[in-house]
Structure 1
């Protein structure tokens, strides 16, 4: 199976397991900068050189050798599950993508037809009932994850633990898992343990969010989107994410982790 979703600097200074909707654009740009002394011009997901990616055939041998050698600093980043699934909805379902189209072509029309979701449009200022539509999207996300219908789950709302587990199951080992909510602290520790050709000041790094400004802004606080049924669905989908990465299930408005990640526990539970 290899190591899908893994990026590595060309200098071999660090290895990163991408988890979508967890600052992956910013992390990729930082990795690119530490090798080249500049940021990639464009969305780092579109780069085809300057950064090793498992999706690039010519990068696979270098990545596999470094991962299995267990000597290269290896990390990933996680995010509050409530915030992450909301971000997925507003970016991928309600928002317009960089190419000017809806995400995955006919996905949104399918959701409108099958789940009664309304996401508005740029023409009406994205005027729609955000709470009702998000809750219906959550039913769809649960159906894709639990029963793989009406489609396989998308990487943007698949569980973080699922992404992180594939790396462990195939022989990888994490040295650090840090929080999007404490990004600078976590990334600082990663860089501290990596020998990079170029240094970077995290205070000067912009947040690279390609979806910003292409869709509706969230109109309510996080807890307003999650009634009892929604929270039940979130627990069904993301129980491991809450428990392993120490996020507060009881208070959707508390985005901060309530403990530190235990790497031994993560490797033991996700490496089965």
Structure 2
């Protein structure tokens, strides 16, 4: 059975289902450190050794065996749909990537032509109407997810529940699911429940935000980006995320969840 998006420490102490835009860089670096006592030099997504990844052929057998045998602490991390889709927009659409180029090459010209999205440029200080362009991008994201056009949905704005569900559907089971909004406490609980070769104090871990400083800053509070139509689209795309992970659909500015996740409910509903 395939387990796309799964990372595991080489010591097989922890298994993590990656969810893009949910602190995955920090989690990967913490897992790397928990084995080696040092952080990976660079973006953890670029590592080719020191951390098992399903995308690496040599990692697939050990990951498959550990998942099937449930021999390691297995977890993932989720995020409020409102802040996550905004982060995706400012990073992947409005921002410049680590390689100095726009994300996915011709994506932005296509968004400009078909949806009227304008995100400015480094030359003009990224001056643009953030609210109008974000709402147009949200329509595009809905079209990719609902209709799979003008392209397949991207992993950075596909629903969190969809990422989480593939692991369950293929035979995996989570021990813990915690929130990006309470990252330190959730990550520490996962580490405390695992037997890692190197102890980690999450409070001392630097933040690994690879997109920081490469694009415009968000100029408004979260709720100002979402009018009635935008919120209707959010419910259409992310209804299951709001419900399963207990986020407040009615108050976009309430970042944290209204309660803890119910692991049994998540496995039941996402395993259907």
* Map of 1:78 onto structure 2: 78
**1:118-137: per-residue Cα shift (whole Å, max 9, x none)?**
00000000000000000000
SS at match of 2:168: helix
Distance 2:110 2:188 in 1: 42
Measure, in 2, the Cα distance between the counterparts of 1:7 and 1:194: 15
TM-score, length-normalised on structure 2?
0.99
Who is 2:20 aligned against? 20
Shift of residue 71 of structure 1?
Answer: 2.5
SS in 2 for 1:230: helix
Give the structure-1-normalised TM-score: 0.99
**CA deviation after TM superposition for structure 1 residue 34, in Å:** 0.3
Q: Alpha-carbon deviations, 1:201-237, whole Å to 9, x = none?
A: 1111111011100000000000000000000000000
Q: Is the 8 A contact 2:188 2:201 kept in 1?
A: no
Unaligned runs of 5+ in 1: none
CA distance in 2, matches of 1:255, 1:175: 24
- Identify unmatched segments of 5+ residues in structure 2: none
3-state SS of 2:233 partner: helix
* Contact 2:52-2:63 at 8 Å conserved across structures: yes
- Per the alignment, residue 164 of structure 1 pairs with 164
Whole-angstrom distance in 1 between the partners of 2:250 and 2:71: 38
Q: Residues 32 and 39 of structure 2 are in contact (CA less than 8 Å); yes or no, is this contact kept in structure 1?
A: yes
| Map of 1:269 onto structure 2 | 269
Instruction: Give the structure 2 partner of residue 2 of structure 1.
Output: 2
Deviating above 3 A after TM superposition, structure 1's stretches of 4 or more consecutive aligned residues are none
How far apart in 2 are the matches of 1:206 and 1:113? 40
Which residue of the partner structure matches residue 247 of structure 1?
247
Distance 1:99 1:70 in 2: 38
Match of 1:233 in 2: 233
